[in-house]
Structure 1
Amino acid sequence: MSSSNRREFLKSSTVAAAGLSLPYFFTGAKSIADEQKAESANDRPLIGCIGTGSRWDAVGPNAMKLGDVVAVCDVDADHAAKGRQRSEAENKKQGRERKVDVYEDYRKILDRNDIEIVTIVTPDHWHSKIAIEAMKAGKDVYCEKPLTLTIDEGKKICKVAKETGRVFQVGTQQRSEMGQLFLKAIALINEGRIGDIQKIHVAIGGAPTSGPIPIAEVPKQLNWEMWLGQAPLVDYRFKQGPGWGNSRCHYEFRWWYEYSGGKMTDWGAHHVDIAQWGLDQQGVGGPVSLEPIMAKFPTPYQDGMPTQDDRYNTPTEFHVKAMFPRDIEVAIRNECNDLGFDNGVMFEGTKGRFLVNRGKLVGAPVDEMKSNPLPEDAIQKVYKGMTPSGGNAHMVNFFECVKLRKDPISDVYSHHRAMTTCHLANIALRLDRTIKWDEKTEQIVGDEQANGWLSRQARKGYEVTA
């Protein structure tokens, strides 16, 4: 049997079995990760990596445990070369001498019929365009968070995902890993251990300031025009400093609204997601209003726009009061030191409260698990009937769902709902006024100016279309 036919056979036979009984990973059979280790090189899914910067150093190797990278792409030639070198070394380490092609233009990867899966690890403002085109090209997608730059982009991604039936995992690893602390937290809510949720406190950290950043020569290895993509064509800026220095590019793109959403989308994509996942367990819908309580920006703003273009512009401190149905408040802040934590999510219910972050799960309902443990299937219930496995659980879940043709634990639809809250919070902060949201129409109510911010005009040639 040819490798391509065998892959299709495995997919169809697994789906058929899932329709008749529990998924195979409940039967005691080997996991897909173990199964693929034992298969020959031609039987492993082929992967194209779009974006090979610092974050890819985690995403790429995790994907290579389950499939073979055959192509990498980056608009920074140094990043691309590093991606190629690491991919070929990993292929060799696993006994497969496989050449890895290098491209500057991501469309070269999407044009290849042999590539089945793509990882997208680019700056945020590139996620949606590449992801939509990848799905249309018949690829299954693993994309880093935050998935979108605007609410309109999220609507387009959801539309194309439904139309194409592609499997799409968003890189919100808290839903799978971190010692399963967040899964246990959601299971506690699902099992009624805190009663009805009354309030949620979310602390996601603040953003840095930069001061003036001078115009600088574009590095020779960087295609700056293509890096900018849909964003306005502007000068490259860089100032030497500790760590990465200060710039408009690479890691520091997070602190510019032109390319991202500051901490509100960078860490909000993690913790606001957990807050709304908890609300989902009790059938609570999306936000109905968002009120800016406090914000400190590193540059003056006028009509929601920064008045200086030579420095970071996302808020360094903030507090947004997001109201949800049943009069539930979700307070999104840079820190909650008055409550004893500066990063994490605190759920308050009618029966108690607990705090969860990447290092701990604490509170009376947690202590009570010693005498009243969660049911054996509690984690599986919140993990869509599947079982997270080990330190690479999020990527394993994606590859398992590729075979099963089902939505993974961090699907585009739940992520779009969480990012909608984050994007609305940013709009409220920038305009410095309360906005009201209609979840059914996905429109801001009674505010024409704010409604205009649900999308952005892309630079010609870089439009995001569904």
Structure 2
Amino acid sequence: MDQKNSRRSFIKRASLTTAALGTAPYILSASNNKTQVLHRAYTVEQYSSNDQINIALIGSGIQGIYDTQAALKIDGVKIVAACDLYTGRLDRAKELWGQDIFVTRDYREILSRKDIDAVLIATPDHWHQTITVAALKAGKHVYCEKPMIQNFNEGQEIIRAQKKSGKICQIGSQGMASLGNEKAKELYEDGAIGDIVMLDMYNDRYSSEGAWQYPIPTDANNDTVDFDRFLGSAPKVPFDNNRFFRWRNYQDYGTGVAGDLFVHAFSTLNYVISSDGPNRAMATGGLRYWKDGRDVPDVSITLYDYPKTENHAPFNAAFRINFIAGSGGGGGFKLIGTEGEMEIGQNSVTVNRSKLGMEPSGYSMISFTEDMQAQIRKEYAAKKIDTRISNLATGTTTWQAPRDYKGAHYDHFFNFFRSIRTNGEVIQDPKFGLRAAGAALLANESYSKKQPVHWNPTEMKLL
């Protein structure tokens, strides 16, 4: 992609006559802030019982249920089994999806069933690699929740297992297939913000639930929870309800804010700008408020360096998370370029292009005589820096999903099941998943070592 030619093309379209504005979807106007509607067309097909894709859920917790509910909205998909280590969640699975579904506390019983085509893996992070590889070897298609890995050395085995199996494996950053991401990629490649200079991502939370203090059921005990199986390869510790139901708070089972939140941002960023990821990270932060026994920070700031590639200029990215944001909470994801900025959400994209100040103002002219100021202004006027085209290429445009948009989560599963039926490509395969998760885990590595860390984004290796 020739970014300079793209920018010239963008500005040229921005200078078209008013009559052409309605047919040029990328136009920004200085006199009018515009809103345009995004569109997604879905194919509608009817499937017989013999054509159904039978799925099973492994890990019937919060995200597992949301994943399954989204999956079941796709035509021709049926859930036939669920697995969890807390019996109350198995009861809940039957409550949600029928008393006839098969339930178990042993995921291997799921993988041995011949009537299951695909599994959704929504377990704690430290089980992702083990179950994903086992499922692929068992001939199942896999949808694995992000982050794909808990440790850097786990990703290559998943990549090899998927390639050898020939099965579809999609990683579950559920916003990846959104209308917002799709439009943002199109706009970036068209030169809407020029060369990228910086990414600013933040997520502020102000609730106990947002800080992962999830409720613990009153009947949770050694009988209703298979705690030993939950531990798996993690260090052996006595039964602890907090570790089981609030596992994100512990390094033994989760990946902290990086694996929970950074990985979504890296998925979107790498997709939009067609990048393999950063090559350096430096993190800081700490445990400021939620001192409930957790061993991961609740405030985190990480700076990343992205190297120059054929698809983007070198730039920096700032990721910041605050789980005790007295402001009340909120979030943002903004690409900032040499000629504009783009704020990306799952349902919308807003591009703002401002006029770059290239002529001196009174601030810098004050030390010169009136005659010298006049000469300087004349010299700048002769350069014709302030053109009509540059003025027309400024303004704000928002592309918004329609009210009846089915949502990013639906789109991600639509892509997954379509790929199963057509043996096509998924939007987030294991290589993509490793690049997103690997970049996120750099934050944990740097925070732990208290120093910058380096990563080879092409070979997906820690240096």
Distance 1:105 1:111, change over 3 A: same
When normalised by structure 2's length, the TM-score is 0.71
Distance 1:146 1:331, change over 3 A: same
Aligned to 1:452: none
CA distance in 1, matches of 2:185, 2:318: 18
Amino acid at match of 2:187: L
1:355 aligned onto 2:356: no
Aligned to 2:92: 82
Q: How does 1:293-304 map to 2 (within 5 A)?
A: 294-297=284-287
Aligned to 2:23: none
CA distance in 2, matches of 1:80, 1:209: 22
- Deviation of 1:371 (Å): 9.8
- Deviation of 1:219 (Å): 4.5
1:261 aligned onto 2:255: yes
CA distance in 2, matches of 1:397, 1:267: 22
Amino acid at match of 1:334: I
CA deviations 1:52-102 (Å, max 9, x no partner) are: 12222221222233312222111111111211232227xxxxxxxxx3111
Q: How does 1:144-293 map to 2 (within 5 A)?
A: 144-177=145-178, 180-205=179-204, 208=211, 218-238=221-241, 247-250=242-245, 252-280=246-274, 284-292=275-283
CA distance in 2, matches of 1:368, 1:140: 47
Distance 1:369 1:118, change over 3 A: farther
Aligned to 1:329: 316
Instruction: Give the 3-state SS of the residue equivalent to 2:98 in structure 1.
Output: helix
Q: How does 1:100-119 map to 2 (within 5 A)?
A: 100-119=101-120
Number of residue equivalences: 363
CA distance in 2, matches of 1:77, 1:362: 45
CA distance in 1, matches of 2:458, 2:397: 40
- Larger RCO, structure (CA 8 Å, separation 6 or more): 2
1:346 aligned onto 2:340: no
Whether contact under 8 Å (1:291, 1:433) holds in the other structure is yes
Distance 1:350 1:156, change over 3 A: same
Distance 1:433 1:86, change over 3 A: same
- Deviation of 1:44 (Å): 0.8
Whether contact under 8 Å (2:257, 2:300) holds in the other structure is no
Q: Which runs of 5+ in 2 are unaligned?
A: 1-39, 309-313, 355-391
- Deviation of 1:335 (Å): 5.7
Whether contact under 8 Å (1:209, 1:316) holds in the other structure is no
CA distance in 2, matches of 1:112, 1:165: 19
Q: How does 1:376-395 map to 2 (within 5 A)?
A: 390-391=406-407, 392-395=410-413
Whether contact under 8 Å (2:279, 2:454) holds in the other structure is yes
Distance 1:407 1:351, change over 3 A: same
CA distance in 2, matches of 1:40, 1:256: 45
1:434 aligned onto 2:452: yes
Distance 1:439 1:174, change over 3 A: closer
Q: How does 1:401-440 map to 2 (within 5 A)?
A: 401-440=419-458
Taking every aligned residue pair, what percent have the same amino acid on both sides? 27
Whether contact under 8 Å (2:276, 2:435) holds in the other structure is no
Aligned to 2:382: none
Q: Pick the aligned partner of 2:48 from 40, 59, 62.
A: 40
Q: Which runs of 5+ in 1 are unaligned?
A: 1-27, 90-98, 239-246, 300-307, 380-387, 446-466
Distance 1:253 1:194, change over 3 A: same
Whether contact under 8 Å (1:320, 1:331) holds in the other structure is yes
CA deviations 1:13-55 (Å, max 9, x no partner) are: xxxxxxxxxxxxxxx9982xx32xx333232111122111222
Amino acid at match of 1:248: R
CA distance in 1, matches of 2:184, 2:330: 18
Instruction: Give the 3-state SS of the residue equivalent to 1:429 in structure 2.
Output: helix
Aligned to 1:123: 124
Whether contact under 8 Å (1:352, 1:365) holds in the other structure is yes
- Deviation of 1:356 (Å): 2.1
Compare CA radii of gyration and give the structure with the larger one.
2
CA distance in 1, matches of 2:71, 2:458: 36
Distance 1:298 1:260, change over 3 A: farther
Amino acid at match of 1:331: A
Distance 1:104 1:209, change over 3 A: closer
CA distance in 2, matches of 1:232, 1:351: 51
CA distance in 2, matches of 1:435, 1:403: 41
CA distance in 1, matches of 2:247, 2:111: 25
Amino acid at match of 1:189: Y
Instruction: Give the 3-state SS of the residue equivalent to 1:170 in structure 2.
Output: strand
Instruction: Give the 3-state SS of the residue equivalent to 1:401 in structure 2.
Output: helix
> Where does structure 1 differ by over 6 angstroms across 4 or more consecutive aligned residues?
366-374
- Deviation of 1:226 (Å): 0.6
Instruction: Give the 3-state SS of the residue equivalent to 2:237 in structure 1.
Output: coil
Distance 1:400 1:223, change over 3 A: same
Whether contact under 8 Å (1:168, 1:407) holds in the other structure is no
Distance 1:209 1:269, change over 3 A: closer
CA distance in 2, matches of 1:47, 1:156: 23
CA deviations 1:331-367 (Å, max 9, x no partner) are: 1111699xxx952211011211122235753341599
CA distance in 2, matches of 1:369, 1:403: 44
Distance 1:67 1:360, change over 3 A: closer
Instruction: Give the 3-state SS of the residue equivalent to 2:297 in structure 1.
Output: coil
When normalised by structure 1's length, the TM-score is 0.70
CA distance in 1, matches of 2:342, 2:239: 45
CA distance in 1, matches of 2:185, 2:350: 13
Whether contact under 8 Å (1:205, 1:263) holds in the other structure is no
Aligned to 2:36: none
Distance 1:319 1:86, change over 3 A: same
